Amino acid sequence: MSRAEELLSPSLTASDDTRGMQAPWNPQWLVFITFFFGWAPGAALLAINFRKMGLDRWAMATWVAAGVGSVAIALIYSPMVVGALQGTLDPSQQRTTRWIVRGVSAAVALGLAHFQRERYRLWLMTHGAAAPLFRPALAAVLAGGLAELGLMALATRLV
């Protein structure tokens, strides 16, 4: 095939089809939600967004990562809760730990959002607008916050 023929031949594949997709959310906003409101709500929204894009395997892997990450964060924070209750908590250590957890959570969310970028841009080119995010984000922040509190309470009892 010559270069001219190659240039004029269609280059769309089955992965460029938006049939079966629902309007996704902007993945970059999900990274911001993860940084400011925590891993659980951000990861849940990223998993749902993968599902909306028709990427079910990525959605399942993200749900698993959300659960494992939430348990790990609860185990990291539980000694700080015990230290605060006993009056032995070092504030600088607490601050450092929070920033590390936020940074790692945001970095993982940024990596997951990277895998959504192509499908999101495809949706924007064919449909023009993303789905509204305010209500789902609010629900995820409230539910994720409650789940993290529950996990921390459980982990604190184990420590």
pLDDT digits 0-9 by tens, 50-84: 999 999 999 999 999 999 999 898 888 888 777 77
Q: For the chain, what is the domain count?
A: 1
Q: Is residue 119 part of a domain?
A: yes
Task: Please say whether the beta carbons of 24 and 130 come within 8 A.
Answer: yes
> What's the helix, strand, coil split of the chain in %, to 5?
80, 0, 20
Q: Is residue 91 part of a domain?
A: yes
Q: Is residue 144 part of a domain?
A: yes
pTM: 0.83
Q: Is residue 16 part of a domain?
A: no
- Of 118, 134, 138, which Cα lies nearest the Cα of 50? 118
Does pLDDT of 92 surpass 60? yes
Range of the domain at 117: 24-158
